[in-house]
Amino acid sequence: MKKPVRHSSHILETKSRKFFEAQLPDDWIFNIPANDYGLDYHIEVVLKNEVTGLNFSVQLKSRKTKVNKPYCSASLKHSTLNYFHVRLEPVMLISFVEEEQEAYWIWMDELKLDLSQSKDTYSIQIPKANKLSKIDWNNTLTYVQEIFNKRSFIGEFNITELTNAEVIAWRTYYGDGFQQSIFLFRELLKKDSGNIPMRQALAWSLHMTYQYAEALKVINELLRTNPSARNYQTKACILAEFGFKENDKGKIIQAKNLFQQYIDQEADGLMLYNYANTLIGLANYEEAIRNYKLSLEKNQNYAECWKNLGTCFYHIGNHEEEMNCYDRALAIEPALPEALISKGITLIKIYSRYKDALILFNQVQDLDDVLYDSFVYGFFWLAFVHEKLDHVEEALKWIDKGLDQEPTNLHFLNFKSNLLAKYWKKHRLLKIAAIKFFEFRFELQKDIKSLYYLIQIKSISKKAAFTLIQSRTDLLNGITLKLLDEYELKWESVVEVLLYWESYRKFRNEYPLSRYTEQLLSQHNSIPTQFWGLLNLVCSISFSQAQKKYNKTKQSLSVPVQISKILLEEVPKLIREIFPSMKYPQKIAVELFSFFYVHYSIIISREIGLQTGYISAQLNLPEMDSEEYLQNNWHVELHASIAFHLNRQLNLLEK
C-alpha cells in the first residue's frame, strides 16, 4: 500500500519558515495571513511588553541550491508588487537558501522598480551582505518607525525610550486610530507640553479626522516654539485640505506659499506631490505638471501622482498624455478608483467611448459597492453613460442614488429633468415617475421648466395652463387669452417660453424694457401697461424660439435670423396698443407718425442686437455682424410694416 509522499517544495517551505521564525526577537508577534496575496508574515513590533503599532510584512522566498553570486535572485509578479506598494506598512523580501542555511533580506521600499511599466514579472536582486542571521532588529525597528513617521511629517524620536503610556498612544496612532490618539496625546501633553513629536502627531491626527481648524490651531502653537521646515510642511498640508474642503482660495494660496518656501533639492516626493495639489487647486496646471513630474522622479511608483498628473493634462487639452498617465497609475494600482473614474469620464467627454467607460465604472462598483457614496458625482457619470447607451431605467436608477444623497444638487436635478422629458412618452411608468418628479421639483424650487413639462405630460388645457402660468410668472402680466387670440400668438410658442424662462429673466433684468421708454414716449401719447406686457411676451417668444432653433440646427446664424423674423412679424402689430381707436388732429398725427416711424424701428433693431449678443455669449457662439443677417429687404419690410400699422391707427392716408 502506497503512503502519501510530501512534495519537496513543501518541505523547503517549512524549513524556510522555521529559519525565519527562529531569527525574530522572542517578544515580537508574527501572524500568518489567512489569505495568500503574496505576503507570508505580518510582524508586530513589541517594546516593553507593549505592542507599539509599528509593523511590517514579509514575503518569504526559498531555494534549494546556492548561487555563486553576491546576490540572490527572486522573481515576483507585477500584481504582487502592486499589492506590496499600496500597503501602508513596509514590506521585507527574504530569500532562504537551504544549502547555505541562510536567508537574505531587502526592504521593498529601497528597490528602484518602475511599476508603471507593462511587465508581467520583475527579477529582484537581494544582496548576500544582508544576512538574516546577522540582522540588527533594533535597526529594523528604527527603519519601520521612520517609514511611518515620514508619512505624517513626524520628527525623529527614539521609541525605545518611551514610557508604557506613551507607547500605547503611539501604537494607537500608528494603527490609524486617530480619533483615540487625539485623546491620548492630549492627556500626555498635559504633563509634557514641550514634547514636539507628540504635538506633531496630535496635529496630524486632527488633520486625518478632518478637524482642520483645530489642527491648524495646534500646529500654529507648535510653530511659535519650533519653527521647523517639517512643521511648516504640516501646516501647508492642513491649509490645503482645509481650503479644498471649504472652497477657500485664500487658504490654498497660503498652503502654496508655504510649500514654495520650504521646497528645495532635498524635498521628498510626498511634499512635491502635496505642493502640486495646491497648484492644481489654483488652476496653475503647467506648474503643477512640473512638480508632479519632480515628485515622480523621487518615487515613480506613486499611483495617485500619476493620476493627478493626468488630470492636469486633461485641463490643458493634452488627452493623449492624460490617458497615458491614467494607464501608468492603473499599472501600479489597478484598483485605484480615482484613476478608473477619471479615465472613464475622459472616454465619455472626449472620445465618446461609452461602453469602455461603463466597464471602468462597473469595475469601481465591483471593487467597493459603497465607493460612489463618497464620490457622489460618480452616480452622475454612471447615469450619463447609461443614458448614452439607451439604458434609460439604469440611468434613472443611478441618478436617483445621487439625489438620495444630495436632493437639491442642480446637476442631478437637471439631468433627471432632461432624461424624463426625453423619454416619458415611451413607457407608462416613466410618465408616472415624470409627473411625480416635476411636481416635486416645482414645489422645491418653483422650477419653471418643470411647470412646462407638467403642462405637456398632464395635457393641461389651454385655459387652465394660462391661469397657472399667470399665477407663477410675470410672463402674462396684463394679458388675457382673448388678447393672445387677437394677436394670433401661437399658444405652443407661449408655453415654450417656460423652457428658457430663467435665462430670459436674467437677460431682461440686465436689459429692461424700460430702456425703450424714450423712443416710445412723446408729448402726445402715453404707453399703457398692456403694451409692455405684450412686448415682453413677444420678446420672450423670440428669445426662446431662437435658442430652440439653434439647438435643432446648431447653426449660429439661426439665432439672429429667428429673432429678427419674429420681432418683424409681431412687434409692429403692437402699435395698436399705443394708439387706441381715437382721432388725432392731422398735425399731431403727422408728428406722431414721423416720431414713431423712426424710433420704433430703432427699438426693434436694438432688441435684436441685444438678444443675439446675450444668447451668443451664453452658447459660446462667435460674434455676428448685423449685416450678416439683416439684409436690405428686411429693413424695407420693417419700415413698411411700421408705416402700415401707424397709418391704420392714425388714419393719415386713405386705404
Q: What is the pLDDT of residues 573-608, one digit of tens each?
A: 999 999 876 678 888 889 999 999 999 999 999 999
| pLDDT of the residue at 620 | 93
pLDDT of residue 5: 45
Dihedral of alpha carbons 175, 178, 179, 184, sign: positive
Mean pLDDT of the chain: 89
Please list the residues that pair with 104 across neighbouring strands: 95, 131
pLDDT on residue 77: 86
* CA atoms lying within 13 Å on the CB side of residue 588: 11
Strands 91-97, 29-31: pairing kind = unpaired
Contacts of 576 (CB under 8 A, 6+ apart): 645, 648, 649
Strands 41-47 and 50-63: antiparallel
Q: Mention every residue, 6+ apart, whose C-beta is less than 8 A from residue 465.
A: 455, 495
Q: Label residues 487-515 b or e (16+ Cβ within 10 Å = b).
A: bebeeebbbbbbbbbeebeebbeebebee
- pLDDT at res. 122: 86
DSSP structure class, residue 131: B
- For 452-492, write each residue's pLDDT tens digit: 999 999 999 999 999 999 998 999 988 999 999 999 999 99
More confident residue, 377 or 572: 572
pLDDT for the residue 623: 86
* More confident site: 544 or 623: 544
Around Cβ 39, how many Cβ atoms within 10 Å? 19
pLDDT at 281: 93
Mean pLDDT of all residues in 371-384: 82
Neighbours of 640 (CB within 10 A): 11
Q: Taking residues 511-536, what's their average pLDDT?
A: 90
Give the burial class of 174: count Cβ atoms within 10 A of its Cβ; 0-12 exposed, 13-18 middle, 19 or more buried.
buried
In angstroms, rounded to a whole number, what is the distance separating the alpha carbons of residues 322 and 307? 8
Specify whether the CB–CB gap between 595 and 551 falls below 8 A.
Answer: no
pLDDT number for residue 371:
63
Mean pLDDT of 498-505: 96
Average pLDDT over residues 392-415: 93
Average pLDDT over residues 159-175: 84
Cell of 404: 438620495
**What Rg do the C-alpha atoms of the chain give, in angstroms?**
37
Give CA–CA dist 327/318, Å, rounded. 15
E-strand spans in 307-437? none
Per the listing, cell 401707424 goes with 646
pLDDT (tens digit, 9 = 90+) per residue, 344-362? 999 999 999 999 999 999 9
If one compares 654 and 29, the residue with the highest pLDDT of the two is 29
Question: Span 35-43, mean pLDDT?
Answer: 78
Give pLDDT tens digits for 525-534.
888 899 999 9
Tell me which CATH code domain 8-144 carries.
Answer: 3.40.1350.10
Query: CA angle 319-353-374, nearest 5°?
Result: 80
In the chain, CATH 3.40.1350.10 sits at: 8-144
For the sheet containing 29-31, what is the strand order?
29-31, 41-47, 50-63, 91-97, 102-107
Predicted confidence at residue 374, as pLDDT, reads: 67
Q: What angle, rounded to 10 degrees, do the helices at 448-457 and 462-472 form? A: 170
